Amino acid sequence: MASDTQVSFLTQEAYDRLAAELEHLSTTGRQEIAKRIEAAREEGDLKENGGYHAAKDEQGKQEARIRTLQALLKNAKVGDAPESNGVVESGTVVTAVIAGGEEVFLLGHREIAGGTDLDVYSEASPLGAAILGMREGDSGSYTAPNGRQITVEIVKVETYTGQ
C-alpha cells in the first residue's frame, strides 16, 4: 500500500470506547499531567527532580496515544463487521495454517478486539498484507521480519461477531 493512511474497521462499540478515551486524555488527562508537572517544578532543581522527569515522560506517552487515537478514529470505517464472503478483509476472523500450525485470529486493528481473547493481526503486518484479499483455500507465503519465508493457507473466513 503506497499510502500512509491506513483505514481500519472498527465496531461502533470500539469507536465509542476509543472516542471516550481520546476525550478523557485530551481534557482531564492533560490537566492532570500539567498539574503534576507544575507541582514537581515547584520542588526546585529540575535536573535532579525524578518526579518532574517521570511526569514529563508520562506526558510524552499520553500525547503519543492521543495522536494515535486521533489518526485511528479519523480513518476508521465504523459499523458492523463485513459479512464474510470467504475473502480475507479487515474485520474478518481468519482460520489459517501458518508454517504448519492452525491459528484463528482477527484481521484488523488491535483496538477492535476490545474484550475478546482473539489474537489480532494488522492488515499492515507481513502476514496481514500477504493474506488480504485471499479466499478460502488459497495459499501463499510471506517474509517474516527475521527474513524467513513462511507459508500460509486460508482455511476459513468468518464474520467477526465481537465474541
CATH code for the domain defined by 92-159: 3.10.50.30
The conformation of residue 111, written as its DSSP 8-state character, comes to G
Mean pLDDT of 69-78: 85
- pLDDT digit string, tens, across residues 80-124: 666 778 899 888 899 999 999 999 999 887 777 666 678 888 888
Q: Tell me the C-alpha distance between 9 and 72, whole Å.
A: 10
Q: Where are the beta strands (DSSP E) in the chain?
A: 8-10, 76-78, 92-98, 101-107, 119-121, 139-143, 149-159
Give residue 113's pLDDT: 65
Whole-number pLDDT of residue 59: 93
| CB half-sphere exposure, 18, CA atoms < 13 A | 26
The share of the chain scoring above pLDDT 90, in percent, equals 44
Q: What pLDDT score does 80 carry?
A: 67
* Mean pLDDT, residues 44-48 taken together: 75
pLDDT at 57: 92
The set of cell numbers assigned to 66 is 492521543
With a pLDDT cut of 70, the percent of the chain lying above it is 89
pLDDT over 60 (residue 1): no
Return the domain boundaries, the chain. 8-78, 92-159
pLDDT at res. 82: 66
What totals of helices (H) and strands (E) does the chain contain, helices first?
A: 4, 7
Compute the half-sphere exposure of residue 73: CA atoms within 13 Å on the CB side of its CA: 18
Q: Full-prediction pTM beyond 0.85?
A: no
CA dihedral defined by 160, 4, 22, 106, rounded to 10 degrees?
20
CATH topology of domain 8-78: Helix Hairpins (1.10.287)
- Provide φ and ψ at 94, rounded to 5°: -115, 135
pLDDT in tens, 121-136: 888 889 999 999 999 9
Residues β-bridged to residue 152: 98, 140
Tell me the per-residue pLDDT of 31-42, one tens digit each, with 9 for 90 and over. Answer: 999 999 988 888
DSSP per residue over 4-27, as a string? S---EEE-HHHHHHHHHHHHHIII
Query: Does the pLDDT at position 143 exceed 90?
Result: yes
Q: Which three cell numbers stand for residue 114?
A: 476490545
